[in-house]
Amino acid sequence: AGCGKKDGASPAAANEWKVGAYLSLSGAETQFGKDTQEGTELAVEEINAKGGVKGKKVRVIFEDDKSNPQEATNKVLQLINRDKVVALLGEVASSRSKAGGIVANKNKVPMITPSSTNPDVTKVGPFVFRVCFTDDVQGQMGARFIKEKLGKNKVAVLYASDDLYSSGLANEFKSEAKKLGLNVVAEKSFLKSETNFTTYLNEIKSAEPEAIYAPVYYNAMVPIARQAKAAGLAGSMFVGGDGWHADSLVHDAGEEMEGAYFTNHFSPDMPAPLSQAFVKKYVEKFKREPSALAAQGYDAAMLLFDAMGRAKGDTPEAIRDAIAETKDFQGATGAITINADRNADKPIVIVQIKGKKFTYFDTVSTK
């Protein structure tokens, strides 16, 4: 104390890039945050091994928002005002990315969410981007998959009404189902705080659907799958979205969900060479297979570093412009082009749960 130096004035600080990352490192969706952090760490290690960006090393400052939107707002403000970061990475869950994105945009610091898919997230303004597809695309693909690939005509929908991601995806799914002539025979919604789904599942069962669309996070899907089995509904009837992709789903409900499918960003067994190169590096470092979150975390960071390198200046504004100009960036999840709405144009991956494992099924163009 009393040395008189201002924060950020040390020579070491001047010689590095500071990037902020806010994630759910504790709370309900901890695994989302941890997986993303690991992917991001791998990216930082890789870029710094190559000498960093424009000759300066990159440091990512991680903050835990405790799976809470209000806390996401606080952490983003802190990263901007206290740490003076040039850019932000985060969050995973759409509700928190929207909250954090509003602050980032207001302060003119670019933010890239690795995996928030709700359409609203990037609509907050010109400084907010994503490297994943959106739920209008994901919901449509879910409906098409059930109708065209599985050949089913009667579907039930089960979702969390007080979660931006879950309710948004359910809505997109329903409007596409209508267009396709896929009949929604039951629609049940619950609150995130609920843990007993038996009544909803019994009502779904009596409507006799051939498939059940459940765009919920893994932490809700585990009890739903177990209670569905007890209610006499086959796990193979379930179709979900990217929110399912956490190890604990197959670990805790793999048996109950045998045969189920979901739309996703990535699968560790997908054949693309860049995906496989990433998987190899990740397994070496973390001794387990990367989830889609990890791959998206890696891609968001790598795309940001690439943009920082291309930017006409070192300011958040210049970095923003470079992110916006990203075309055909070669990531672990596929080729990413940032479009005029600051969303990523990229294909979608279908994953199946087989023998308690996530198994690559198909890659579909979203065009």
Residues that bind ligand PHE (CB under 6 A): 32, 92-94, 115-118, 165, 242-243, 245, 292-293
Decide whether 130 or 209 has the Cβ nearer to ligand PHE.
130
> Residue 85 corresponds to which amino acid?
V
Least distance between ligand PHE and beta carbon 12 (Å): 35
Q: Which is nearer to ligand PHE, 264 or 326 (CB)?
A: 264
Quick one: how far is CA 105 from the chain centroid?
20
Q: How far is the CB of 117 from ligand PHE (least distance, A)?
A: 4
Q: CA-based diameter of the chain, in Å?
A: 73
Residue 187 DSSP class: E
Least distance in Å: CB of 94 to ligand PHE?
4
Q: Which of 140, 181, 123, 43 is nearest to 348 (CA)?
A: 140
Cβ proximity to ligand PHE, 92 vs 338, nearer residue: 92
Q: Of the two residues 116 and 227, which places its CB atom closer to ligand PHE in the complex?
A: 116
Q: Under 8 Å CB-to-CB from 301, ≥6 apart: which residues?
A: 19, 39, 40, 43, 44, 47, 60, 89
Instruction: Write the DSSP assignment of 212-255 as a string of letters.
Output: EE----HHHHHHHHHHHHHTT--GGGEEE-GGG-SHHHHHHHTT
- Looking at residue 251, its amino acid is H
Residue 118 beta carbon to ligand PHE: minimum distance, rounded to whole angstroms: 5
Question: Would you say 79 or 216 has its CB closer to ligand PHE?
Answer: 216
Our CB check for ligand PHE shows the closer of 222 and 293 to be 293
Of 63 and 299, CB closest to ligand PHE: 299
Please say whether the beta carbons of 132 and 116 come within 8 A. Answer: yes
Sequence length of the chain is: 367
| In the complex, minimum distance from the CB of residue 34 to ligand PHE, in angstroms, rounded to a whole number | 12
Residue with tokens 């051939």: 210
- The CB-of-122 to ligand PHE minimum distance in angstroms stands at 11
CB of 47 to ligand PHE, least distance (A): 23
* Contact by Cβ (8 Å): 217, 167: no
Calpha distance 363→1 (Å, rounded): 57
Residue whose C-alpha is closest to residue 348's, from 115, 124, 25, 150: 115
